[in-house]
Amino acid sequence: MTGNDLISEAKNTWCPGCGNFVIQHTLKNVLTEMAAEGAPVENTVLVAGIGQHGKMFDFMELNGFYSLHGRTVPVATGIRLANPDLRVICVTGDGDSYAEGLDHLVFGAKRNIDITVLIHDNRVYGLTTGQFTPTSPHGFRGHSTPGGATEYPFNPLDLMLSSGATFIARGYTHRREQLKRIIRSALEHKGFSFVDILQICATYSDMTAYYDARVYDWDESASGDYAAAHTKAREWDYNADARIGLGIMYRRRAPTFEESYPAPPVPFAKEQQAWIQKFLENRM
């Protein structure tokens, strides 16, 4: 299998220069690499939300569930519970998972369900043509906020750390090698892995120059240290001018939801019937 086998024949409709291309090809490269090492690609399921990111579902030749806006994490949870051999990747956006589906993201982290969530965080609604999102900076001017957004963004890394995520990272679409390493680590992590990917929106919010001037690599040597992770998470609040750390911010091994609540032995139909029979007899 080559990387090209993971790109579907569907016509690509992203804008030229869109950061989604980088995420798509990085994911393709990671999965190709892992397949070559013996992780069958058919065991991967992509769960997409609604937004420009969601087109990953059509553009990649992978098992997929094209879900609703904000609704990737619970679908992925169901798939994982039903078949723990599947590697489930949510591709979702900042409008998608930070706004309409925020509760699911928080609870996915809280449960430590073994899935990977890749946030295509371009900090703007692309599909609906340029409104502000939960991570748009204060004063963002879009069609719905012509005078500038009066809300401040929230900090998704800080939020995920508080919610119990056991793998938290930030990547950037102009740091491809690092992004590839982060995504691979996220896929290999046992438990809920979360990657906020700063993504360029070529049409509505091209922050390339802004990011390029501020990004730096985190020291990952103590990534299990909660307090250190907390400091890293708060260095940049997605609004004020500050250095923007990239890399794996936090990582620890904890029992996954599936490990804590494994499938019961499936009783033979006869045993199940016997239990029901006994229950009913006790009710006579």
Partner 1 sequence: MAGNEISVLIGGQAGDGIASAGQVIGHLLAGTGYRVYMHYDYPSRVKGGHNFAIVRAAEYGIGAVREGVDFVLALNQETVDLHQGRLPDNGIVLFDSGRVKNAAGIGVPVGEILAAEHAPAVMGNSAIIGAFIRAAGLDWERSAGVLGRAMPKGTDQNLRVARKGYESSEERRVIPPATLPPLPVVTGNEAIAIGLAESDLNFYFSYPMSPTSNILHFLAGAAEELGLRVIQPESETAAILMALGCAYAGSRAAVGTSGGGFCLMTESLGLAGIAELPVLVVLGQRAGPSTGLATYTAQSDLHFALHAGQGEFPRLVVAPGDAQEARDWAGTCLDLAWKYQLPAILLPDRQICEGFYSLGTGSPSPHRAMPVLADPSARPYHRYAPSGSGISPLSYPPVPGEAIRVNSHVHDSAGITTEDPGLTRGMAEKRMRKMAGLLDEIEGLPSVSLGGVRDAKVALLCWGSSKGACEELGGRRGLRVVRPIVLWPFPEEAFARAMNGVEHFYAVETNESGQLAAHVSRFGYNADDTILKYDGRPFMLDELEAELHRVVP
Stretch that binds partner 1, among 25-33, 99-107, 168-176, 227-235 (CB under 8 A): 99-107
Q: List, in order, residues 6 or more apart from 138 with CB less than 8 Å away.
A: 148, 149, 150, 151, 152, 153, 239
Considering beta carbons, is residue 159 or 179 the nearer one to partner 1?
A: 159
Q: Which two tokens stand for residue 281?
A: 């007899």
Q: Does 123 bind partner 1 (CB under 8 A)?
A: no
Spatial separation of the C-alpha atoms in residues 180 and 24, rounded to whole Å? 11
Q: According to the binding rule CB under 8 A, does residue 107 interact with partner 1?
A: yes
Tell me how many residues contact partner 1 (CB under 8 A). Answer: 53
Rounded to a whole number of angstroms, the minimum distance from the CB of residue 159 to partner 1 is 15
3 interacts with partner 1 by CB under 8 A: no
Amino acid at 10: A
The runs of H, that is alpha helices, within 38-175 are 56-59, 73-82, 94-95, 102-111, 156-163
Query: What type of residue is 169?
Result: A
Nearer to partner 1, 50 or 183 (CB): 50
Beta carbon of residue 39, minimum distance to partner 1 (angstroms, whole number): 11
Q: Does 241 bind partner 1 (CB under 8 A)?
A: no
Report H helices in the chain: 19-36, 56-59, 73-82, 94-95, 102-111, 156-163, 176-188, 208-214, 226-235, 257-260, 269-281
The phi and psi torsions of 105 (rounded to 5 degrees) equal -65, -45
CA distance 51 to 94: 9
- Write out the binding residues for partner 1, residues 32-51 only, by CB under 8 A: 40, 42-43, 45, 47, 50
Choice from 68, 99, 127, 228 touching partner 1 (CB under 8 A):
68
Asked if 55 is part of the footprint of partner 1 (rule: CB under 8 A), the reply reads yes
CB of 155 to partner 1, least distance (A): 21
Does 264 help bind partner 1 (rule: CB under 8 A)? Answer: yes
Options 17, 224, 255, 267; binder of partner 1; rule CB under 8 A: 267
Beta bridge partners of 119: 92, 196
159 sits near partner 1 (criterion: CB under 8 A) = no
Catalog residues that contact partner 1 under the rule CB under 8 A.
8, 10, 40, 42-43, 45, 47, 50, 55, 57-58, 61-68, 71, 74-83, 85-86, 103-104, 106-107, 261, 263-267, 271-273, 275-276, 279-284
